[in-house]
Amino acid sequence: TDRSRGLGDVYKRQDQVIKIWIKTHMYWHESIRITDWFYIYFTENNGMAFGMEIFGKLFLTTFRIVAVGLIIWYLAKIVKQNYKTGYIVCISLILAGAIGNIIDSVFYGVVFNESTHSTIASFVPVGEGYSEWLHGKVVDMFYFPIIETNWPEWIPGIGGEHFIFFSPIFNFADAAIFHIVAINDVLVIGKIGIVIGIQENGPCHMFCLLKSMCQVIGVIVSLDYRVINAGIRDPDPCNDIRIDLF
């Protein structure tokens, strides 16, 4: 519908406005304290699931584009079949979030120079960027260290180690997807008590299928989990835990 399409466009534009501002105004791994539990923290990632380099960046970006094409096909199908507006909006927001991160992967490498600890990136002529087409890095910036403490010494294996909740750093596109998935989980669990598998019929079928793909393949929705060992004041960017779904 026009309403869902318009909402998706708003999400995509807002996502890119935030990313471009961060990219052109902050140093890599620079942080801005908003509160004790909320920071704007600029980091980038290659978009690889769990930080692995098995298939390479080009494969992942291509897969994302194909997956987005499937979502567009499915969205057009449910619109023609007059599915409920709320469900169409949900799929539209998933699509918007996915496209937001694909834009980074496809274009950022060729239109920006590299962000470093001493250099703030800027736009450059196409082709003179830090990478090639389809090899751009995804920009992340939202960090919520709501709880920062150490595990009790008596816990085997992790006793005394530093602990942060919530440690993932994510972007606006990730948030759009995550919120829709979370709402779906609440609705489904509230309706049938527990999610056992993909429903055989009804509007949840394709969405549950996509979620299952997320869990198995780990490349459908982008939730970039970057753990900072010593907190925002002393980040260790080498310790990455990633779940990259789109």
CA dist 72 and 5 (Å) reads 11
pLDDT in tens, 81-113: 988 887 888 888 888 888 988 999 999 999 999
What's the chain look like in SS3?
CHHHHHHHHHHHHHHHHHHHHHHHHCCCCCEEEEECCEEEEEEEECCCHHHCCCCCHHHHHHHHHHHHHHHHHHHHHHHHCCCCHHHHHHHHHHHHHHHHHHHHHHHHHHHECCCCCCCCCCECCCCCCCCCCCCCCEEEEEECCCEEEECCCCCCCCCCCEEEECCCEECHHHHHHHHHHHHHHHHHHHHHCCCCCCCCCCCHHHHHHHHHHHHHHCCCCEECCECCCCCCCCCCCCCECCEECC
Residue 232 above 80 pLDDT? no
Per-residue confidence at 4, pLDDT binned at 50, 70, 90? Answer: low
Rg (CA), the chain: 19
- pLDDT at residue number 122: 96
pLDDT digits (tens, 9 = 90+) for 233-245: 334 333 333 333 3
Distance CA 18, CA 142 (A): 10
CA atoms of 32 and 26, how far apart (whole Å): 9
Report the pLDDT value the prediction gives residue 70, as an integer from 0 to 100: 92
Q: What per-residue confidence (pLDDT) applies to 131?
A: 93
Q: Which two tokens stand for residue 213?
A: 């793909």
What residues are annotated to the active site? 140, 174
Strand partners, 135: none
Q: Assess whether pLDDT exceeds 80 at residue 37.
A: yes
pLDDT at position 59 is 80
Q: What percent of the chain is predicted at pLDDT more than 90?
A: 31
Is the CA virtual torsion 205, 206, 211, 216 positive or negative?
positive
Within 8 A by CB and 6+ apart from 234, the residues are: none
How high does pLDDT run on average in the chain?
A: 74
**Residue 143, CA distances (Å) to 30, 78, 124 in order:** 12, 35, 28
State residue 159's pLDDT score. Answer: 86
